[in-house]
Amino acid sequence: MPDSAAGAMPEQVACLDTFAATSGEASSGGLNGTLAVVGLEALEAGEAPGVLEQLAALVGWAQAQQARVVHRMEELIGREVEATLQKPDPALAMSLTAAEAGAVLRLPHMTAMRLVGESDSLCGRYPGTLARLSRGNISYRHAQAVLDQVDGIPEQEQQAFEAELLGLAEGRTCAQFLRVARRLRERRWPETILVRHRAALDKRRVSFDPAPDGMGDFSARIAAEKGQAIFTALTAAAQGQQRAGDSRTLDQLRADIFAALLLSPGTAGDEGGGAAENSGESGIKAEIMVLIPADTLFGADDQPAELNGYGPISSEAARRLARQALHWTGLVQDPDTGEILAVGRQRKVPAGLRRWLQARDGTCRFPGCSVSPPRTEIDHTIPWARGGPTGHGNLANLCPKHHRYKTFGFWSARQQVPGVLDWTSVFGRQYRDNPVLDYGRISVKHLGGARSRTPVRDSGTASRALPDESVGSMKLPGGESLGSRDAARASLHDPP
């Protein structure tokens, strides 16, 4: 851990020059000693590049050791899986390793999965690449590129091609190296192009990534020719709008036409003077959930609303959604604490409580997971068969994969405070996952776009009150939204 400077202020702002890797506990493995960068203020022009080069080599060495540690973790977890299931399950062992590594490193699960897979390849099939990385001859991005290019060619030729690529990688940027490596591979093994394309086609997907200021990036990984055709068609339609006198830019028009084609009229988003013309009357019927403070809903102030799965949105956007609501479904809420009431020993989670849990949790509640509520399952933290109640303090959204971890007992969870999940991993480490919404409260970190997923030893996340939280559910032409407690107060169940 980094050393603290003597007499430092409560919040350290100076860059630390010394890293101390000593552990307070006796251990047969791990890091030991200290590493310091000295005399930075006295560096001359001719010396600075050399120090930078040394630091780059140090980064490569550290990443190589990280790969070795992750690979060792996978071996240990693999033994635990085999002992529990009475048979080996490499896929489950890999997934559990990614869960542990992701929780430690604060990585999303799929990023951690890639780290585990790369660590396995570096420590198993491609030790030459690991050695070059550990010596600082190549960066981790270069190592990833080598693995990507070697994978899929005839197995008996992989080792020789790896060595050839490593010689090409040194002295080139990663982009330059990839261009050379791809040309070499395609010329030498042209028959693999079709196989790789089919494998890549199986991974086609659509994703939405929240961005700041009430925006987001919608992307689709599809066949190149289809993507190009779609973009060309959007461009042609946008140019037609401009010729008709529309003042929006091509980028704005492409985005508005795209939304209008997919969503029902009135939900496409009128960002600059009306939805695109000739977009058709049909569209996808979507559902969304928004938590709106009563004062915001009625225009008394401009406090932000909460778009479930995204975060804060402007008061203007929230009121626009409210105006488009088709109907409301009310939820009962404690007026003092903001809690949604429990339902005792009923096992089935009623729709009203399910909606509250979606708003409270925002995503799967496993550390580091960002799977959205439409793809999660409601889990009883204390199983219902063991007396666990069907109340918000014993329920949480889990994606099927992490639900399985808990069911098998590799990870365990508890809610000593309703909505706050304390997890214990397969290695016995503890992590805390705080909800997006704590009854009538909203996390300050979440307002900045960050979800609080901290080790239990941390002090937790500061929060501020969001007054007069709404508890009604309103159905929109393109969505469903929670509205005002004053506007809609009914039973916990949806009306028939």
Domain layout of the chain by residue ranges: 48-200, 205-262, 286-496
Q: What pLDDT does residue 418 have?
A: 87
Angle at 354 between CA 334 and CA 472, to 5 degrees: 50
pLDDT of residue 456: 38
Burial of 400 (0-12, 13-18, 19+ CB in 10 A): exposed
CB 17 within 8 A of CB 37: yes
pLDDT tens digit string along 430-453?
Answer: 999 998 876 444 333 333 333 444
Question: H/E/C letters for each residue in 88-133?
Answer: CCHHHHHHHHHHHHHHHHCCCHHHHHHHHHHHHHHHCCCHHHHHHH
What integer pLDDT is reported at residue 305 of this predicted model? 76
Which conformational region is residue 212 in: left (phi greater than 0), alpha (psi within -120 to 50 degrees), or beta? beta
As given in the structure block, the two tokens for residue 422 are 């304390």
Nearest C-alpha neighbor of 70 from the set 21, 115, 134: 115
Name the DSSP letter for residue 340. Answer: B
Encoded tokens for 416: 């000593």
Give the pLDDT score at 287: 57
Angle at 73 between CA 72 and CA 75, to 5 degrees: 65
| pLDDT value at 320 more than 60 | yes
| pLDDT tens, position by position, 164-177 | 999 999 889 999 99
Best mean pLDDT range from 287-291, 343-347, 489-493 = 287-291
For the entire predicted model, the pTM comes to: 0.66
pLDDT, tens digit, 9 for 90 and up, residues 369-391: 888 888 899 999 998 888 888 88
Give the amino acid at 258.
Answer: F
Say whether pLDDT at 104 is over 90.
yes
For the segment 177-201, what is each residue's pLDDT rounded down to a tens digit? 998 998 899 889 888 877 888 888 8
CA–CA distance, 432 with 423 (Å, rounded to integer): 6
**pLDDT, position 98:** 95
Residue with tokens 């808990």: 406
Instruction: Give pLDDT, residue 483.
Output: 34
Nearest Cα to Cα of residue 365 among 408, 331, 415 = 415
Q: According to the model, what pLDDT value does residue 357 have? A: 87
Q: What whole-number distance in Å separates Cα of residue 312 and Cα of residue 212? A: 9
Four-point Cα dihedral 200, 205, 211, 213, nearest 10: 150
* C-alpha distances out from residue 31 to 1, 16, 27, 67, 107, Å: 10, 18, 9, 15, 22
Beta bridge partners, 438, equal: 441
Q: What DSSP designation does 473 have? A: E
* 222-235 mean pLDDT: 85
Query: Residue with structure tokens 């977890």?
Result: 77
Nearest to 474 by CA among 368, 337, 341, 352: 352
